[in-house]
Structures are given as C-alpha cells and as structure tokens.
C-alpha cells in the first residue's frame, strides 16, 4: 500500500508534494513552487490521476488551487477522486479549490486565448491545473499560438504560481513537442500498454528543474481503488 502523508503535514519549503512518499521520492522530492509542469501521455496512461494526486497533496499542504477540466464535471471529479481515497469536498466547500469544466473544442481557434484569460482572472492561487489541453491544440491553427500559450503560462509561474498542463502525446505536432518540453520546468511522461490481460503503466520523470534529488527514473504504478496511485517495482510492472 502507498504511504500517504496525513493532512496538514508539511513538505520541504518551496516544494509541492503529492502526499505519496514513494511517488515524491521518484519525482526528486516534489515539484518546486512556480514550476510549469507538463504531464504527457497517451489516452488512459494515468495523466488525470497523477494530476489529481498532486492536487490533493498540494491542498493538504494548505495551498489553494484551481482545476480547468475538459475531462470531468465537478460531480464526476469528486466521485472519481473519492473512489481512490482523495476526497476534495471539504476543500471545495471552503473555497480553497475550484473546478471549472471547460469545452475547449467548442471554443474553436480562441480556445488557448480564452483559457489563458480565465487562468489570469483567478484570484490568488498557488496551483492551476489544466486537464487536458489536447482539445485546444486540435483547434489551434498555428504552432505559434500554442507556443505563446506556454510562454504566457511561464509568466504566470514567475509570480510563484505552479501551472500543471496535461497533454495527449499524439495530439502534438512533432515539430512542436521539443519546444514545449524545453519551455517546461518539469516533464512527466506516462506510458500505458497491454501485456496479456494486464494494463502496464509507467511514469518517466524526464525533467524537474530545481528538484531536491536526482531525477530521470522510470517507475511502474497501479491505480488502486481506495488508495490511489501505488508505485511498484518496474520489473513487476513489466511482468
């Protein structure tokens, strides 16, 4: 079973941790405040669960967060997180966490611009998560439009706001992938594959600038009902 930190327990100064000790150790201790974080992977690889794990850890630290979700309604998000022991109801009721369902595909070419404006209009937040940005990329007409969005996110990060963006790998033009990854302070790459009757999931910590320890590791994980993400030996993940 994964070791979860109790609510209210601190973390190293300037670090957002997920509340899962094993996972944080693989991420170099956690995510430094003010980071632009890219969580990249194919559909079903675990991007939403990983971002939710980080959200819950940040809220437990006393931070204030906002989620823009194209994947869930408020109700479905609460149900999903409750099923893996990450209840957020109290944080929603106290106003420390806000969820905004978004339909980026319906905004057309203005999707990146309107999303960015909504992010800027948030009251004081420590953490802003976009899950996911894939539909906005599909609506954009130029690579410049997407790069400008990430550049503006970097400006938000300069005010000590941590921004996490999830993205389907297949949605990005190969010429655009490198510049986006370079711009981000942290890059977490998720993989999922079928191995017989099992779904094998792995997390590659490709980069975390300013991490408290060495990164670059690849770890296996499972999403266990009632416990959330559980790090497992890579040999076990691959069978």
In total, how many domains does the chain have? 1
Cα dist from 213 to 30, 183, 230, whole Å: 9, 21, 21
CATH of the domain at 164: 3.40.50.300
Range of the domain at 118: 15-237
Question: Is residue 179 in some structural domain?
Answer: yes
pLDDT in tens, 158-175: 999 999 999 987 878 888
Q: Give the C-alpha separation, 95 to 119, whole Å.
A: 16
pLDDT band at residue 238 under the 50/70/90 scheme: low
CA angle 56/30/209 to nearest 5° reads 135
In angstroms, how far is CA 227 from the centroid of its own chain?
18
Residue 8 covered by a domain: no
The token pair at 233 is 């030996």
CA–CA separation, 103 and 80 (whole Å): 19
Q: Tell me how many degrees the CA angle 195-196-199 measures, rounded to the nearest 5.
A: 45
Question: Band of the pLDDT at 239, cuts 50, 70, 90?
Answer: low
Condensed to tens digits (0 to 9), the pLDDT of residues 90-132 reads 999 999 999 999 887 777 788 888 999 999 999 889 999 999 8
């Amino acid at each position: 079973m994964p070791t979860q930190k109790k609510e209210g327990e601190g973390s190293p100064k300037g670090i957002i941790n997920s509340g899962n000790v094993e996972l944080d150790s693989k991420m170099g201790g956690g995510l430094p405040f003010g980071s632009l974080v890219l969580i990249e992977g194919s559909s079903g690889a675990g991007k939403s669960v990983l971002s939710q794990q980080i959200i819950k850890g940040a809220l437990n630290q006393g931070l204030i967060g906002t989620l823009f979700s194209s994947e869930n309604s408020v109700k479905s998000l609460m149900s999903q997180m409750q099923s893996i022991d990450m209840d957020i109801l109290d944080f929603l009721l106290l106003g420390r966490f806000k969820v905004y369902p978004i339909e980026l595909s319906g905004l057309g070419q203005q999707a990146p611009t309107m999303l960015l404006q909504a992010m800027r209009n948030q009251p004081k937040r420590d953490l802003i998560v976009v899950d996911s940005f894939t539909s906005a990329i599909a609506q954009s007409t130029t690579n410049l439009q997407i790069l400008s969005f990430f550049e503006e996110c970097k400006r938000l990060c300069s005010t000590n706001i941590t921004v996490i963006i999830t993205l389907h790998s297949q949605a990005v033009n190969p010429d655009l992938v490198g510049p986006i990854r370079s711009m981000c302070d942290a890059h977490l790459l998720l993989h999922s594959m079928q191995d017989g009757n099992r779904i094998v999931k792995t997390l590659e910590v490709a980069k975390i600038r300013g991490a408290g320890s060495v990164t670059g590791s690849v770890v296996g994980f499972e999403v266990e009902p009632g416990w959330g993400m559980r790090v497992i030996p890579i040999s076990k993940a691959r069978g």
